[in-house]
């Protein structure tokens, strides 16, 4: 089920509450069943869905017990709807503030993630985003694993009018990353984005390489780039990256496609890390800022 369908189903479940003559346990249970089924169909982690159900029930009970509904059905409906809304927001809000680049300072951002997730595209989008906001931005291509990676960076960075660094001959990604970051720091760039290599699988060499690059460039923020279609594998994958790369932010790509998105969303709770942007297309400007509350409001339409 794609995200728009999830929104429609959640919305339909919530508005069915408006039609219920009384708000009793049976009605609340039926509503929660619908909400949870929709979340599961979208690949949101099973444990998270079970937690959401319990938390909503506990919150609603506490509110009813305290007399917050003043015995009125309309108030009872509001209590239930608000509890569900708040818990949906909690799903995508780890309560952690992401790093914010500072002007006049070399902010190093390192991107990690498996091959094909959209890392290289996202690096250019990020550079464009910060450049538009007045940060002198650039990209270092430290992906020596994938043939053609540097060409891809060169082409997209040229199109975006963003400075870039890489090498056709150097095979050591750590050395390229260190050289590129040193060069751009000297030239007073303010946002220096380091694109690292991905592999098809989570492999120990990939993680070792990421740790070495990270030690060499000392990023202010490491970003995990996750494909929205990852599904239930998100928890294990994001946890594996977290253990070695310790990323501080997530960007979910391909949210414009037919992906369910719920899996990638589950990575937030699994790693207690905030999503900062959503990739919503293949073009340079297809990057949306992410914030939990507006995202859920928009989802519910």
Q: In this chain, which residue has its C-beta nearest to ligand GDP?
A: 279
Q: What is the DSSP string of 46-83?
A: HHHHHHHHHHHHHHHHHHHHTTTTTT-HHHHHHHHHHH
Which parts of 174-203 interact with ligand GDP (CB under 6 A)? 198
Q: How far is CA 17 from CA 38, 133, 158, in A?
A: 16, 44, 53
Assigned token pair, 289: 């800022």
Q: Is residue 106 a contact point for ligand GDP (CB under 6 A)? A: no
Q: How far is the CB of 221 from ligand GDP (least distance, A)?
A: 18
Assigned token pair, 237: 């994958």
Residue with tokens 């995508």: 92
H/E element, 130: helix 119-132
Which parts of 111-150 interact with ligand GDP (CB under 6 A)? 113, 115-121
Q: How far is the CB of 12 from ligand GDP (least distance, A)?
A: 27
Q: What is the DSSP string of 10-31?
A: HHHHHHHHHH-SS--HHHHHHH
Nearer to ligand GDP, 156 or 179 (CB): 156
Stretch that binds ligand GDP, among 31-39, 56-64, 77-85, 254-262 (CB under 6 A): 254-262
Q: How far is the CB of 254 from ligand GDP (least distance, A)?
A: 4
Nearer to ligand GDP, 15 or 155 (CB): 155
Residue from the set 5, 24, 243, 282 that interacts with ligand GDP by CB under 6 A:
282
In the chain, how many H helices and how many E strands?
A: 11, 8
Q: How far is the CB of 164 from ligand GDP (least distance, A)?
A: 14
Q: What are phi and psi of 256, to 5 degrees?
A: -85, -15
Stretch that binds ligand GDP, among 98-106, 159-167, 258-266, 276-284 (CB under 6 A): 276-284
Interacting residues with ligand GDP (CB under 6 A)? 113, 115-121, 198, 253-254, 256-257, 279-282, 286
């Amino acid at each position: 089920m794609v995200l728009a369908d999830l929104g429609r189903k959640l919305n339909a479940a919530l508005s069915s509450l408006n039609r219920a003559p009384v708000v009793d346990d049976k009605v609340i249970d039926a509503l929660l069943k619908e909400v949870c089924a929709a979340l599961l169909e979208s690949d949101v982690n099973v444990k998270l869905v079970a937690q959401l159900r319990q938390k909503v029930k506990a919150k609603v009970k506490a509110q009813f017990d305290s007399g917050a509904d003043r015995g009125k059905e309309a108030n009872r409906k509001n209590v239930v709807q608000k509890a569900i809304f708040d818990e949906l927001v909690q799903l995508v809000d780890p309560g952690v503030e992401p790093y914010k680049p500072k002007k006049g300072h070399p902010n190093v951002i390192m991107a990690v993630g498996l091959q094909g997730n959209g890392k290289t595209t996202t690096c250019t989008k990020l550079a464009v985003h910060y450049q538009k906001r007045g940060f002198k931005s650039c990209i270092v291509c430290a992906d020596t694993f994938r043939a053609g990676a540097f060409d891809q960076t060169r082409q997209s960075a040229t199109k975006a009018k963003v400075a870039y660094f890489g090498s056709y001959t150097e095979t050591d990604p750590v050395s390229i990353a260190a050289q590129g970051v040193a060069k751009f720091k000297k030239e007073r760039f303010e946002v220096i984005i380091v694109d690292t290599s991905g592999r098809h699988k989570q492999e120990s060499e990939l993680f070792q390489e990421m740790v070495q690059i990270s030690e060499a460039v000392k990023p202010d923020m490491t970003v995990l780039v996750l494909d929205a279609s990852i599904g239930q594998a998100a928890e294990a994958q994001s946890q594996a990256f977290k253990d070695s790369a310790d990323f501080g932010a997530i960007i979910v790509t391909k949210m414009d496609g037919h992906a369910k998105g719920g899996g990638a969303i589950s990575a937030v709770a699994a790693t207690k890390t905030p999503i900062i942007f959503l990739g919503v297309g293949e073009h340079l400007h297809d990057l949306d800022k992410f914030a939990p509350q507006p995202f859920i409001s928009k989802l519910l339409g």
